[in-house]
Amino acid sequence: MSVAVITGASSGIGASAAGRLAEAGWQVAVVGRNPQRTREVAETVGGTPFVADYDRLDDVRELAASLAERYGRIDVLANNAGGLVHERGDSADGFERTIQHNHLAPFLLTNLLLPFFAPGARVIATASVANTFGNLRLDDLEFRKRPWLGGWRAYGTSKIATIVFTRELAKRTALEAYAYHPGYVATSFGAESRLVKFANLFSPASTMGISAERGAAPLVRLATTERVDAPNGTYFDGFTPNGRVHRSANAPGAGETLWAQSARMVGLAHPA
């Protein structure tokens, strides 16, 4: 039986994808931050709950160890956890929270699980069209030198990092790795953002985004299709390959430099 690990699975896209894969006969690891919601989703879909807070990299290390012990072999890792951090702040590890939640934590988890991926395994990352208004500056990955602006540019930048990491993972390993934009999904994303609250005030929820089920559909297809009809490392906009990316994602050496810098930040002495 195939094994899928889905982070950010206690609600929204992750929970929907967990349900779809479980229905298809997969063993599903439901990873979430909130213990109660994570357990509830796992019970609903027949999966196994794992609790980890991406504000603490030690939680990520413990998560990787628990997954390895429980399964031994993983067929799909969906790096779906993360989101918009409205108020600037640092994690328990001293890093800006947006880049830790959306990039550093999944980077660490993926690297720690490398010995446990099955042949032909896939890593699927939830990115965003919001990457187009970010700017991946490797001298300011944590937005210490730039205005915060409600966290939106930092969020977009973290999603550039997601796309660049995915490409580099495809180059460095035997894994298949893909990133995708799910569309604007009507979930709790950005709930603390003043901009989102303003938009919701004047637009009914039904017009503000697609359902979590529709948002999860590209993830489920990338996880289950026998052959992905696009080069390894591709970023999809929904089901369409080669979505738009900010020019900084294509800067010479961006992948190698981001990988090396991320490895130093999370304390990986011998990353892939």
Q: Tokens 């990092």 correspond to what residue?
A: 161
Q: How far apart are CA 229 and CA 241, in angstroms?
A: 9
Which residues does residue 265 pair with via DSSP β-bridges, in sequence order?
none
Q: Which has the closest alpha carbon to 242: 179, 185, 174, 182? A: 179
Q: Tokens 């430099």 correspond to what residue?
A: 257
129 is a domain residue = yes
272 is a domain residue = no
**What is the per-residue pLDDT for 184?**
85
CATH number of 122's domain: 3.40.50.720
Amino acid, res. 192? E
User: Which of 155, 178, 180, 235 does the annotation list as catalytic?
Assistant: 155
By residue range, what is the domain housing residue 16? 3-266
7 is a domain residue = yes
**What is the per-residue pLDDT for 124?**
98
Digits of tens for pLDDT over the chain (272 positions)? 899 999 999 999 999 999 999 999 999 999 999 999 999 999 999 999 999 999 999 999 999 999 999 999 999 999 999 999 999 999 999 999 999 999 999 999 999 999 999 999 999 999 999 999 999 999 999 999 999 999 999 999 999 999 999 999 999 999 999 999 999 876 554 445 444 443 343 334 444 578 999 999 999 999 999 999 999 999 999 999 999 999 999 999 999 999 999 999 999 976 66
Q: State how many domains the chain has.
A: 1
222 is a domain residue = yes
77 is a domain residue = yes
Q: How far apart are CA 207 and CA 231, in angstroms?
A: 34
184 is catalytic: no
271 is a domain residue = no
Q: How far apart are CA 36 and CA 10, in angstroms?
A: 9
The model's pTM? 0.91
Which residues does residue 179 pair with via DSSP β-bridges, in sequence order?
125, 235
CB of 165 closer than 8 Å to CB of 125 = yes
25 Rama sector, left if φ>0, alpha if ψ -120 to 50, beta otherwise: left
